[in-house]
Structure 1
Amino acid sequence: MIPSNTEIRYSASEDAFNSLGLLLSAPAPISESTKLISSVQTTSPSKIIKSSRSSPDRFIPTGHSVSTFRMLSPGPKKASADNDNGSPRTSKIMPKTHESRIAEALGFDRSANVFIYQKAPFSARSKLSDDQFHLSFNFSTSKAIPKRPVSMQPIKVLDAPNLRDDFYTTLLAWSSRGDLAVGLADNVYLWNNIDGTTQVPEDFSDQFVSSLAFSYHGDILAIGRVDGMVQFWSKGEYAPRLELAHAGDIGCMAWRPKHPLRSKSRNDLLVGAHNGKIYYYEIEWTSSSANARLLKIISNAHQEQICGLAWNIDGTQFATGGNDNFVCLFDALRLDKPKIVWQHFAAVKALAFCPWQKSLLATGGGSHDKRIRFYHTHTGALINMIDCGGQVTSLTWSPTYREICATFGYSFSDISHRIAVYAWPTLKLLVSIPAGHPELRAIYAVNTVCKNENGENVGGGTIVVAASDETVRFYKMWEDERGSIASGGGGRAVRWEGVFGSDIVELVEGIDREGNEKIR
């Protein structure tokens, strides 16, 4: 149960989002390509509906079970509650400017500013278009750049037989050392560019894999299984060093980012269980031993299965998503109750903190929600929202662009894409990658950020997608160069120091401004 004194943010005002919108036209479908085998390269670089384990969030049909699924599913209805007229679903964004929403989130009363040396009142700026307002507020323009091309085809496809088509699993994990872990039935396989594919020894469990997670330094792989067991492995070893038992299957796990002053051998791990509990462990991992200490069992956040877990970039906050349609936000130093609880309209699996603004959290709802919401985690304010028309299965912020990538699974709408990239904060649709064929869905996706010998992030321009046709696909979405965060909104490159235009506010908000980096 959620504590009675916990602040719960309902989305009653979300009907306002449905009054204005931008039509997202479905891209032309590409021809279906043949199934590729391992490591084959391609040629080019509001009613609240309670989710249940029998809902589309629980099971997404594969090609050979479509007829069975159609007998069980409610079938295509007269669109959802937010689209009763039967028209194609549109992508809806708030009519306010981004600066107005940020001001509200931070508690600033912009109309109360008395030191304004101009004839027109400050509030009159809200009549300008978003682009005009951005430029008049605190931006300085630079020359326009062409819209960056993104290939509709994956740059690599790996065959993944027995990859489970289940919304409630996280069967991909990416290591900061460049290893990809994939859970196939009861086995786990590792892949990287140098060694190719290797298998984690399989003689230690016959239970299906339900979740995977690499530690911050990439030296520990946690494997969660449907019987509640979590195994801890080190690459190259032939047996798990540690096993922890829980009740029910483990759908998600999340390692806490390392604090620079903390010993490298100590790692914190969140484990999300089927019974709605979150287990907080400290894992001590040395070159020859491993031990676990249970720090906390969080049992007052969710009443049903934990679907998603995510830490912010410095490990001061984490978010949890559940099958009870709630997202809970915790401060890492106060685990007795959630700081804020946000209600959604379906199970929430997709959670992503912005890597260059730690107070910005994106959440993605399941098949009866289909929305991506953006929250300010210090105040709990809803900054923006977009109706995507599909079950959101993952969210990934770009480390080098002010953009966010979403993948989609089950959908009743006419939106045909399964991968999309949106600009922040305009939420303009920049990239739309279609499914190729109607039954193909994205189950989950991870980013490919690695760390170099100095501990600095490198890469991150490619996302890896687990697909319902038992393949794992690599898509090049962004350039990998560091040193700037670029804006992809309409091909215009704008430069300004920071996000809020204030060193003090950005220090409080956790804006990443290390070195000479500029957000542009």
Structure 2
Amino acid sequence: MDSSRKIKYRSPLQEQFLPRKRNRENLDRFIPNRAAMDLDYANYMVTGGRKGKENSVVSSPSSEAYRKLLDETFNMNRPRILTFKEKPPTPVEAIPRRLLSPPPHNAKSAKPRRQIPQGSERTLDAPGIVDDFYLNVLDWSSNNVLAIALGNTVYLWSASDASVEELVTVDDEVGPVTSISWAPDGQHVAVGLNNSNVQLWDSISVKLLRVLRDGHQQRVGSLAWNKHILTTGGGDSRIIDNDLRVRSHIVETYIGHHQEVCGLKWSASGQQLASGGNDNLLFIWDRSAISSTSSHQWLHRLQNHSAAVKALAWCPFQGNLLASGGGEGDQCIKFWNAHTGSCLNSVETGSQVCGLVWSKNERELLSSHGFSQNHLVLWKYPSMVRMAELSGHTSRILCMTQSPDGCAVATAAADETLRFWNVFGIPEVAKPPREESSMPFVDYCIR
């Protein structure tokens, strides 16, 4: 025998008291679950069963009969005697999900996906419109009447019956008309002129009610209403508040711009005024911050744009949110927190931004553009994803205004066309225009 392979023998005492090698496998202890065991069947299989039958040499007829009876009584296909866990319960058919969650509220009245028309609904000729980016010669009244200036003449177009009426034609010495803005009552309209004057007209009686003089030294290219206050912006960089209830109408002057003011917009609350100029500056003015002794109390002076700021729009669903657009050298839409003056976002559009309009029914923003696309872009806010691009104009869009119900916009372009776009769709419930009491313009009118 090979000495290297000697077999060691241990006595029973050594086998009993010598320590065993501890393996990880010996540390586990399995305890059967007796509640799940069939003890009668286990006893039968241990003491007799099929293996006992095979091992028996002599068996009596009575024991064979008893074993046969046990075979019939117990199921011989049982897999094992010991059971370490209970059998899993029989799976129950899952309850359909539609029965677990209640149906969504007003599911049958879910709003369908809006189809945005890619073309204009109507196109009108606008011969003689002045091709000047800094002017604002288009506005839509709360009474659904559109006013547009074509050279020296102001026309009124009724959206209800498509009738056209001439409001006024000014002389060449004072013209052309450089700005138009409807009063909140939808009856009176302000007309800014190239000679620095502002005329106030009654559109129903077609009468001149008042002329505002001595406010500006150059043309008035922008106008904005705040109840009975008419704010004017001129080529002389001045912004003036005119109270039309009194004879001495100049009540406040805002000094901050150093070039022509081409954009003016009051917030919905009437407390903040946004102004943009050809000096690439954007100002936010607060009426409560303006004192009687100083006219230089702007709230924020913002110089992030690199071109003229004409396009301005206050957000209808967030009072402190202001959108502004830059000219050809900037081509950006910027969003501002009017309280802090911080720039929230800036979006490159690829074209000169001429106008901005918020949707009254959805979180959407519409922008109109000049060089080089001359189109309109509908943006989803706040993601600023382009929802649609509307083409039709062949030259830059000079002005854009929104219908009183908020569904459509009108655009006037240098291609001498006036186009109407049903871009915002039809609201679920159209709100009637807010009624405003007539203002006492006739007290100091010029006969």
With structure 1 as the length reference, what TM-score do the two structures score? 0.58
Name the CA shift for 1:471/1:361 in 2 (closer, same or farther; >3 Å): same
Alignment of 1:428 with 2:395, yes or no, is no
Q: Please name the residue that 2:210 is paired with.
A: 242
* Counterpart in the other structure of 1:229: 197
Change (3 A) 1:271 1:203: closer
Confirm or deny: 8 A CA contact 1:201 1:239 kept in the other structure: no
SS in 2 for 1:304: coil
Distance 1:483 1:435 in 2: 30
Q: For residues 177 and 118 of structure 2, what CA distance do their matches in structure 1 show? A: 30
- Measured at CA, do residues 238 and 477 of structure 1 come closer, stay the same or move farther in structure 2, by a change above 3 Å? closer
Please state how far the C-alpha of 1:483 moved relative to its aligned partner: 5.9
- On the 8 A contact 1:155/1:474 being kept in 2, the answer is yes
In 2, Cα distance between the equivalents of 1:179 and 1:360?
28
1:333 is paired with a residue of what secondary structure? helix
Give the conservation status (yes or no) of the 8 Å contact 1:204–1:239: no
The counterpart of 1:463, out of the listed 384, 409, 416, is: 409
Q: Which of 152, 162, 180 is the matching residue for 1:186?
A: 152
CA distance in 2, matches of 1:446, 1:429: 20
Aligned twin of 2:252: 296
1:279 maps to 2:236:
no
Structure 2 counterparts to residues 48-447 of structure 1, below 5 A? 147-192=113-158, 193-194=160-161, 196-202=163-169, 206=173, 207-245=175-213, 246-256=216-226, 258=227, 267-284=228-245, 291=247, 293-299=249-255, 301-335=256-290, 336=295, 337-343=297-303, 344-411=305-372, 416=373, 418-435=375-392, 439-447=394-402
Gaps of 5+ in 1: 1-139, 259-266, 285-289, 450-458, 485-520
Q: Which protein has greater RCO, CA pairs closer than 8 Å, 6+ apart?
A: 1
Secondary structure of 1:425's partner?
coil
Identical columns (%): 32
Looking at structure 2, the residues matched to 248 and 376 of structure 1 have their Cα atoms a distance apart, in angstroms, of 32
How far off is 1:334 after superposition? 2.3
Contact 2:263 2:275 in 1 (8 A): yes
Quote the offset at 1:174 in angstroms: 1.0
RMSD of aligned residue pairs (Cα, Å) = 2.3
Q: Is the 8 A contact 2:170 2:176 kept in 1?
A: no
State the AA in 2 paired with 1:309. L
Task: Quote the offset at 1:481 in angstroms.
Answer: 1.7
State the aligned residue count: 316
Cα distance in 2 for residues equivalent to 1:392 and 1:223: 24
Match of 1:55 in 2: none
> What letter matches 1:314 in structure 2?
S
Larger radius of gyration: 2
Q: CA deviation at 1:394?
A: 0.4
Instruction: Name 1:74's counterpart in structure 2.
Output: none
The alpha-carbon deviation at position 292 of structure 1 amounts to 5.4
- Normalised to the residue count of structure 2, the TM-score between the two structures is 0.67
1:478 — aligned with what? Answer: 424
1:358 aligned counterpart, secondary structure: coil
Gaps of 5+ in 2: 1-104, 431-447
